[in-house]
Amino acid sequence: MTLKTNKIREFPVAIAVSLFAAIVFYFSTKATLHDLDYTSQIASALLHGQLGLQDKPPDWLNEMIPWEGRYYSAFPLGAVISMLPVALLRNTGLIQNFPGHILASLIAGLCVYFFFQLANAFRAAYSSLEGKSLARRIMLALFPIFGTWTWCNLGFGGAWQIALGLGLLGQAAALYFTLVRPLPFVAGAFFTLAFGNRTELLITLPLYLYLFWRQPDGQQGAAVSSPPQTGNAIGLADLKRGFRGNSRMLIRFVSLPAILALATAVYNFARFHSIFDFGYIHIPEVAQEPWYRHGLFSIHAIPWNIYTMLFQGYESFRHFPYIRPDGFGCSIFLASPFLCLLFRQGGRYKMVAWVAISILTLVLWLHGNPGSWQFSYRYAMILLPWMFLLLTGNGPTTISVPEISLFVVSVAINAIATWQFLWTDQIQP
């Protein structure tokens, strides 16, 4: 059976799994923070030619920034642009409130679609293994949404959570259109969506360029179908040859990110008179918070972030479910034991994935606050696409008992956390 035939046959499976995920996510979550619609508010102002609100926002939008007669948001321009369709629907009266619940469910379903298609790149080569291989790909596609802290945190449905979800979706889609179906302009558009919502993702740009460099012929699926390169590093001659062969491809990839980066600089300067000032430190009382006394980013924040992300545990009590996560963080490995499989040997993209995880984690650890109200370590949502590459590539071809067991445990943990945070009053800020 040819690769093209497999793709055609499995497209309905990808759609079905995506719809299943979106429906399950919708009915299992409750957008308790949907009123925190900062990006939608600013997007509505942008439709009227304003960069900020003229009138004082409601009290619950306490992170709006009063500055020179206007009220601004600390969200980057990309996050605001992402909400322009929502703002247009609200301004025309088709919707009344911020649809955080629907947006979160759509993001979840689309993420599962692209994760399934990414996993499809590593599928079994033999038809006799196809059934077990398909089961493993479905499991892996569902894992980043339902087997991690994404389920609960994205389920909150507030602007901060939606931005993280769009960062996750943008990366998953960008990797698909880089590794499986190389379309550089489309990949660049999704990368723009990702870093537009989470600015720190811009530092992964060289990794996407490197992955495109490994496809000098520009053929679809070249990155996943070709055997891994041998040797410890790509040579200088290979880099030059790859650059000459892919210069147009790379230009198509970086065009939209470059436009958004320049527009963001202009946007920041027009608001706060500095191209690097996103406004976060101007949020009322933020500068006085103890964890920012060394600045928004500082090496002094690293120990607290390490503890929250890797070591913080659960609280215990006397009735079901007997344990309860702290509302301000817990270890990602306690929230998702499936991640223990990250450290298996092998994987075609092992080096690139670990580089991405390392540099992004360092940036997250430098941030003065490890995430405030959350289940586990919500910022680590942006690591999941790269973790997915590791988990997909370093495991067996077919589904295995250890993977099933860890997957079930991880889903159960996150289902309970989602119930506790979103449907009960057991955990309150």
Q: What is the pLDDT of residues 337-377, one digit of tens each?
A: 999 999 999 888 999 999 999 999 999 999 999 998 999 99
Question: What average pLDDT does the structure give for the chain?
Answer: 89
Confidence of residue 222 (pLDDT cuts 50, 70, 90): very low
Per-residue pLDDT, 227: 46
Confidence of residue 228 (pLDDT cuts 50, 70, 90): very low
Question: Taking the mean position of all CA atoms in its chain, how far away is CA 79?
Answer: 13
What separation in angstroms does the CA of 361 have from each of 15, 233, 235, 375, 383? 32, 24, 28, 17, 8
CB-based burial of residue 30 (10 Å sphere; 0-12 exposed, 13-18 middle, 19+ buried)?
A: middle
What does the pLDDT average to over 299-306? Answer: 96
pTM (global) more than 0.95: no
Per-residue pLDDT, 419: 95
Q: Rounded to whole angstroms, how far apart are CA atoms 396 and 205?
A: 30
Judge whether residue 325 has pLDDT over 50: yes
Judge whether residue 41 has pLDDT over 90: yes
Residues 6+ apart with CB under 8 A from 10: 120, 134
Per-residue pLDDT, 365: 97
Confidence of residue 276 (pLDDT cuts 50, 70, 90): very high
Higher pLDDT: 222 or 406? It is 406
What does the pLDDT average to over 117-121? Answer: 86
Note the helical H segments in 273-393: 302-306, 332-335, 350-366, 384-393
Per-residue pLDDT, 243: 56
Contact status, residue 115 vs residue 146, Cβ threshold 8 Å = no
Judge whether residue 29 has pLDDT over 60: yes
Judge whether residue 233 has pLDDT over 70: no
